[in-house]
């Protein structure tokens, strides 16, 4: 008999989403924010309560635990991240459950001008009758990735409560700071100790992702010449004007997130700070191929060099830092974990979707570190904004797929 996970998943996501655990890329701490410990410590307590083994909160802010094997097979990792995105308000999240969605527009009690329409969201239109979870209109929901946390915890409780289910050793990991690219450090692969792993951090039901962006971040700093504006003629060099010139020179019609899709990469300006004396521009560079990523870095440098040449009295620097790389480069050499996930999906009558993800996950870094880690769907939609929502039934499908996956792994012996 197929277990029904709906209510447990709903309860867990509502509980987890109400906890503010937003990360902060400007912080050098690990985790980047103290509030992430509210989630991490809660998970330690819940894992101990359900009987998980080896429950540990590492000094680099990752919660690890073990579900002991009941059969031979490859050791498998299941991961989700506890932080929510810094891009939108995540304080005071008020999750609400819409039972048996009627197929119409969804409105928001704390923001009457906001509406989520099935006409603009074909995926939403397909969820009539499902139980949906949204926020109240003033915050994101945080299903990215607390839906993944809820799925992993629900599966863990079920396996520990039913030791007759055959599965190999399973290692759980709940990471901080994924949203700012710092969820996986060099110590985690060894501490996780698995043959391969999966992140629960994907969208539409059926998504099994083994290809992600390659990613760099960039910081452009501009120092002008400051002087009282009343005596500034032929003396002042306004850093804000030079920053604007750099932004305007970058291609805006063909290489920004809002003008690209599919396999097209982009250059995205995330922050501009400063004033007439000094300015700082933060950017992220994305492409599926390394040569395309390198070309975007070269383009940014060339724009900065051109603006520098136009005003030699200024000082313009451009630094580019690697973040993560396309997991496909490693997974295509051994597709075993991907094929296992695809088979688990099909066992539930779900035709897998394996389109490249226009982003990255902790799996991108883990795969690069030598732990093959594709990404499995959770159902999350419209993440990082006030229109974020998720279907409880999609979360249940993900839990069922993971349950089948670990059982199929035991069949590998």
pLDDT tens-digit readout, 297-322: 999 999 999 999 999 999 999 999 99
User: Cα 254 from chain centroid?
Assistant: 25
Q: Which residues contact 23 (CB under 8 A, 6 or more apart)?
A: 31, 32, 33, 36, 83, 84, 85, 86, 176, 177, 178, 179, 180, 182
Could you tell me if 285 and 218 are in contact, meaning their C-beta atoms sit under 8 angstroms apart? yes
Q: Which of 15, 359, 27 is nearest to 199 (CA)?
A: 359
pLDDT tens per residue, range 58-97: 999 999 999 999 999 999 999 999 999 998 999 999 999 9
Residue 1 has a pLDDT of 67
- For the segment 154-162, the average pLDDT, to the nearest whole number, is 98
Q: In the predicted model, what is the mean pLDDT of residues 117-139? A: 96
Read off the pLDDT of each residue in 207-228 and give the average, rounded to a whole number. Answer: 95
* pTM for the full predicted model: 0.91
Domain annotation for the chain: domains and CATH numbers: 6-212+326-411 (3.40.630.10), 214-323 (3.30.70.360)
Going by pLDDT thresholds of 50, 70 and 90, the confidence category of residue 280 is: very high
Q: What is the mean pLDDT of the chain?
A: 96
What is the Cα–Cα distance from 118 to 108, expressed in whole angstroms?
Answer: 15
Helix (H, G, I), strand (E, B) or coil at 356: coil
Q: Are β-strands 170-175 and 63-67 bridged in parallel, bridged antiparallel, or unpaired?
A: antiparallel
Question: Which pLDDT score is estimated for 349?
Answer: 96
State the pLDDT at residue 315: 98
**What is the rounded distance in angstroms from the CA atom of residue 110 to the CA atom of residue 116?**
14
Q: What is the pLDDT of residues 97-113, one digit of tens each?
A: 999 999 999 999 999 99
- Residues 378-391 have a mean pLDDT of 97
178 labelled catalytic? yes
| The token pair that represents 305 in the structure block | 């060099």
Question: Per residue in 340-373, pLDDT tens?
Answer: 999 999 999 999 999 898 988 899 999 999 999 9
d(CA 31, CA 183): 9
Q: Which residues of 164-190 are buried (b: 16+ CB within 10 A; e: fewer)?
A: eeebbbbbbbbbbbbbbbbbbbeebbe
Question: Is 83 designated active site?
Answer: yes
Q: Kindly state the tokens that stand for 251.
A: 């291609």
Q: How far does the chain reach from its first CA to its final CA, in angstroms?
A: 24
**pLDDT score of 273:** 96
Give the active site residue among 20, 46, 83, 211: 83
Catalytic residue among 46, 145, 177, 178: 178
Burial (Cβ within 10 Å: 0-12, 13-18, ≥19) of residue 104: exposed
């Amino acid at each position: 008999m197929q277990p029904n996970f709906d209510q447990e998943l709903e309860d867990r996501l509502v509980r987890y989403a109400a906890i503010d655990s937003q990360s902060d890329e400007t912080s050098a701490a690990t985790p980047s924010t103290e509030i992430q410990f509210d989630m991490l410590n809660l998970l330690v307590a819940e894992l101990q309560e359900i009987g998980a083994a080896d429950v540990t909160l590492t000094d680099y802010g990752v919660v690890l635990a073990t579900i002991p094997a009941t059969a031979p097979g490859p050791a498998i990792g299941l991961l989700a991240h506890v932080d929510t995105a810094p891009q939108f308000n995540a304080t005071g999240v008020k999750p609400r459950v819409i039972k048996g969605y009627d197929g119409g527009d969804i409105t928001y009690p704390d923001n009457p001008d906001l509406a989520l329409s099935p006409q603009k969201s074909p995926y939403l239109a397909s969820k009539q009758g499902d139980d949906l979870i949204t926020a109240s209109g003033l915050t994101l929901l945080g299903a990215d990735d607390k839906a993944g946390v809820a799925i992993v915890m629900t599966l863990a409780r079920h396996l520990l409560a039913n030791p007759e289910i055959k599965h190999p050793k399973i290692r759980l990991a709940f990471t901080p700071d994924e949203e700012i690219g710092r969820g996986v450090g060099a110590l985690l692969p060894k501490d996780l100790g698995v043959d391969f792993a999966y992140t629960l951090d994907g969208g539409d039901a059926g998504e099994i992702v083994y290809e992600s962006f390659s990613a760099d971040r960039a910081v452009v700093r501009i120092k002008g010449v400051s002087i009282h504006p009343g005596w500034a003629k032929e003396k002042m060099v306004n850093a804000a004007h030079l920053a604007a010139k750099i932004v305007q020179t970058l291609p805006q019609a063909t290489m920004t997130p809002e003008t690209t899709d599919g396999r097209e990469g982009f250059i995205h300006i995330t922050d501009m700070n400063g004033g007439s004396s000094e300015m700082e521009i933060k950017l992220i560079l994305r492409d599926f191929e390394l040569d395309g990523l390198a070309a975007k870095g070269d383009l940014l440098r060339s724009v900065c060099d051109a603006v520098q040449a136009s005003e030699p009295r200024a000082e313009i620097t451009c630094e580019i830092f690697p973040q993560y790389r396309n997991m496909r480069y490693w997974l295509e050499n051994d597709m075993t974990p991907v094929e296992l996930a695809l088979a688990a999906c099909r066992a539930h009558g779900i035709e897998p979707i394996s389109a490249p993800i226009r982003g990255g996950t902790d799996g991108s870094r883990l795969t690069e570190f030598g732990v093959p880690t594709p990404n499995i769907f959770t159902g999350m939609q419209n993440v990082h904004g006030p229109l974020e929502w998720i279907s409880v039934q999609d979360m249940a499908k993900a839990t069922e797929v993971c349950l089948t996956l670990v059982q199929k792994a035991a069949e590998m012996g």
